[in-house]
Amino acid sequence: MNLATKINLVLGVTFVLALAVVGVNSYLLTRDNALQQVTDQAELIMQQALAVRSYTVNEVRPLLGQLGDAGFHPQTVPAYAATQTANLVAKERPDFSYKEAVFNPTNPRDRATAIEERIIDRFIADPDLTKLVGTEEINGVESLYISYPIRITNPGCLACHSTPEKAPAAMRAIYGDDGGFGWRLNQIVGTQMVVVPYTLPAQLAQKTFISFILSLAIIFVILFVAINVTIRRLVLKPVRRITRMADEVSKGNLRDAELKVSGKDEIADMLTAFNRMRRSVIKIVQMMRRMQAEAKAKARPKT
């Protein structure tokens, strides 16, 4: 194997190893970043929904209560306010959603789907769990969800969610007696769940990863060419010249001109040393030839 091949082999192996290590690292990093970004988005939507809930309880309900009309206004129900505003947002961004999903809902639109039921079951199985974050394919879209358990901690909730008889008649007139009843104190009845699409950030991470690897590959190719050209010019060419010259000297050809030396590096030193050695060899050879001639002349019988 010649020198250039060996060097290129080392470069190639280094390149592949570096690409693998840096590639995997950068992929994980961009993916984590993307996940973080989407999680932040989902958290924001959740905070928004919680804010709408407390706004409704603290500011809307007391005002409507003052009106003193006997009707029931779902607008005073925090779950309704949060869901309605989230649905308005979802009109613009259909992939984003907020839902208060329960097993036994007052409003049928809040009925838990199979995925939501699974999440509620996990909250029921582990009462210490306060939050679940995960990715899941929802309606054909790779999505990230954040879920909080809905636990009935306030006895006031049972005024409308225990038995139909206890609930306001005006509410029953709208919602009927079928759902949203039978809830007990401290029971986990459902989950507040935010879903945001995860496809875009995942694609973004993939794109970043590919362009990173491509730039790295381009840098390596440039480096590869530069190192090869440099080695060829600075090392391989002078070494070949020395080899050729040494070959000629060993065959007894002493007439060729000396090797040209330029610069001041180790190769130049080697060329100078080689020229010096060649000169010495030439001197020795010439001396031996002279001695041979003299010996011949001496040996010839005098006439």
Q: Work out which of 30, 56, 83, 143 binds ligand HEC, going by CB under 6 A.
A: 83
Closest CB 43 distance from ligand HEC, rounded Å = 20
157 and 83 Cβ atoms separated by less than 8 Å = no
74 binds ligand HEC (CB under 6 A): yes
Candidates 1-9, 125-133, 148-156, 215-223: pick the segment binding ligand HEC (CB under 6 A).
148-156
- The enclosing H or E element of 11 equals helix 3-55
Residue 12 or 168 with smaller CB distance to ligand HEC: 168
Report in angstroms the alpha-carbon separations of 85 from 1, 75, 176, 273: 73, 11, 24, 87
Which CB atom, from 66 or from 154, has the smaller least distance to ligand HEC? 154
Q: How do the residues of the chain divide into helix, strand and coil, expressed in percent and rounded to 5?
A: 65, 10, 20
Per CB under 6 A, 162 contacts ligand HEC: no
* Cα distances (Å, whole numbers) of residue 119 to 38, 88, 198, 222: 19, 25, 19, 52
Rule CB under 6 A: say whether 120 interacts with ligand HEC: no
Q: Any contact of residue 116 with ligand HEC (CB under 6 A)?
A: no
* Segment interacting with ligand HEC (CB under 6 A) among 18-26, 150-158, 230-238, 264-272: 150-158
| 169 touching ligand HEC, by CB under 6 A | no
User: Which of 15, 80, 181, 198 touches ligand HEC (CB under 6 A)?
Assistant: 80
Among residues 79, 188, 195, 245, the one that binds ligand HEC under rule CB under 6 A: 79
**DSSP annotation string for 252-288:** T---SPPPP--SSSHHHHHHHHHHHHHHHHHHHHHHH
Residue (123 or 175) nearer to ligand HEC, CB: 175
User: 193-212 burial, b for 16+ CB within 10 Å, e for fewer?
Assistant: bbbbbbeebbeebeebbeeb
Pairwise CA distance, residues 214 & 208, whole Å: 10
Count Cα atoms within 13 angstroms, Cβ side, for 116: 23
Work out whether 105 is an interface residue with ligand HEC (CB under 6 A): yes
**Does 107 help bind ligand HEC (rule: CB under 6 A)?**
yes
Nearer Cβ to ligand HEC (152/245): 152
The least CB distance from residue 123 to ligand HEC, in Å, is: 13
Q: Does 201 bind ligand HEC (CB under 6 A)?
A: no
Which range of residues in 11-19, 62-70, 73-81, 201-209 is near ligand HEC by CB under 6 A?
Answer: 73-81
Binding to ligand HEC in span 229-248, by CB under 6 A: none
Give the pairing of strands 141-151 and 132-138: antiparallel
Stretch that binds ligand HEC, among 99-107, 125-133, 238-246, 277-285 (CB under 6 A): 99-107
Q: How far is the CB of 95 from ligand HEC (least distance, A)?
A: 22
209 half-sphere exposure, CB direction, 13 A CA radius: 22
Residue 109, phi-psi category: left (phi > 0), alpha (psi -120 to 50), beta (remainder): alpha
d(CA 189, CA 103): 7
- Give dist(CA 17, CA 55) in Å, integer: 57
By the rule CB under 6 A, 110 interacts with ligand HEC: yes
Contact footprint for ligand HEC (CB under 6 A): 74, 77, 79-80, 83, 100, 102, 105-107, 110, 150, 152, 154, 156-157, 159-161, 171, 175, 180, 190
